[in-house]
Structure 1
């Protein structure tokens, strides 16, 4: 498959992404993936925090819990749009992170920079905003692990780890939104419920809206990441040159 710019679908990348998604889905309930789930929850809460800062507010603290829940306590300026942006920031936070990781891993081949940047992000968020010892220890401990991986792991292992984090983040973002959309018990206590109280638009509508936006964002990132640009200059064929002569 070739795009208008000449990029071709890289079936090797597609197979690897499908494998990583399958592994994440199959072992979803395994305790081995617990740190990954808490990591994505931190991405979600970081989305709230970033949105709070962008609208002119401040972040008091972030809490993570061992049961894979989390919260971001912020001070927001008055106004409907600021609150809508901050309440929506969590949904988009993990989706944007998944899309960014796919692009960084596949499209730009940043490799060790991905783990290094994630380590710096966790350190900054933990030091500045951790509201309890568990959140601080998780952020700093995970940051150390990622930094050591960036420094000492072989290139192939780094690539595989980056791809798994990217695939798992994308998968978790969709699963999180699916719960808010279809599980009424979860939806009643979610960000969608906060948006519903604020705007009088039903929570299921907000969950559906952000699900569509997240799926669209992830689809664009995956499509871009899985298409490799042709290397070097594309010379015209011998037949084409003969016709011009």
Structure 2
């Protein structure tokens, strides 16, 4: 119970700290990292689906873009476009989960840091913001994985909370100009229209519908990640049940509640409480009747 409250307190402390310094300069580095993770989601989804990635760019105004060529077909395109928001929430939720559980923390940081560095070296322009961000955070993640136990978990939870919080905050863009978001891109593609001029009502309606669906999945991913990490699992009752019978051994031959009459009955027949013959040293002991 105590651990659960400590975890919730730590999570709330991180959230309050981030919200309090949301517009501070140092938080901008976190925002660039989250935007990079968002664009990395598009890039990884493209590569998984068999497409090619040309460039990952960050614009410095909490925006970025991934220039990629998904394979032909409806499914790959939907998968690639959706992987930005959903991939960020999935990454954030997984980091929180691993950090709180304390298992596979080092492999998680190593894998994430290695992926960030590989994407940076292969798909960012030299000297650009995306390259600087990827190199900085990739090296930081690799170094963090070798920190003493405790610090690596704290960094994992902090980064996971930052990615998740910013990803949810980023979903608010849908309420302002949905046509310029990933949901708008998918809506334009689905309706067969091209951006430019006034936004068709069909694009707005479908864009908001897609944004609502992504929001539902994003919140669900983070909620279940937190639930599995923060809420403790019930501890099974290890007390032997009636059907199991008492556990008896030579080191503890007569455990549990045993009446003198029952004990006397077993000993008089040279048996232990499991019905097995007693060793000779027990049977040779003289009985003293009171």
TM-score (norm 2): 0.72
Are 1:236 and 2:239 an aligned pair?
yes
Which has the greater radius of gyration?
2
Q: 1:209 aligns with which of 208, 213, 217?
A: 213
Give the one of 51, 59, 83 matched to 1:57: 51
Q: Is the 8 A contact 2:144 2:155 kept in 1?
A: no
Choose between structure 1 and 2 for higher RCO, CA contacts under 8 A separated by at least 6 residues.
Answer: 1
Residues 95-106 of structure 1 correspond to what in structure 2 (within 5 A)?
A: 95-106=89-100
Which of 220, 227, 230 is the aligned partner of 1:223? 227
Q: Distance in 1 between matches of 2:157 and 2:65?
A: 27
Q: Distance in 2 between matches of 1:99 and 1:156?
A: 19
Alpha-carbon shift at residue 137 of structure 1 (Å)? 2.4
Deviates more, 1:90-99 or 1:11-20: 11-20
Does the residue aligned with 2:184 lie in a helix, a strand or coil?
Answer: helix
Gap change, CA 1:147 and 1:9, over 3 Å in 2 = closer
RMSD across aligned C-alpha pairs, in angstroms? 2.5
Q: Whole-Å Cα distance in 2 between the matches of residues 88 and 146 of structure 1? A: 25
Higher helix share: 1
Q: Which residues of structure 2 form unaligned runs of 5+?
A: 192-204, 247-290
Q: 1:108: Cα distance to partner?
A: 4.3
TM, length-normalised to structure 1: 0.85
**Structure 1 position 189 matched with structure 2 position 180:** yes
CA distance in 2, matches of 1:144, 1:155: 19
Tell me, in whole angstroms, the C-alpha distance in 2 between the residues paired with 1:92 and 1:9: 29
Indicate the larger mover: 86-95 or 49-58: 49-58
Deviations 1:179-230 (A, max 9, x none): 22x112xx22111111110123621111111001100111111100112336
Q: CA deviation at 1:115?
A: 3.0
1:94-173 equivalences in 2 (<5 Å): 94-134=88-128, 135-151=130-146, 153-173=147-167
- Tell me the CA shift for residue 38 of structure 1: 0.9
Q: How many residues get paired?
A: 232
Question: For each residue in 1:147-193, what CA deviation from the matched residue of structure 2 results, as whole angstroms up to 9, or x when unmatched?
Answer: 33333x4433332221111111110110111222x112xx2211111
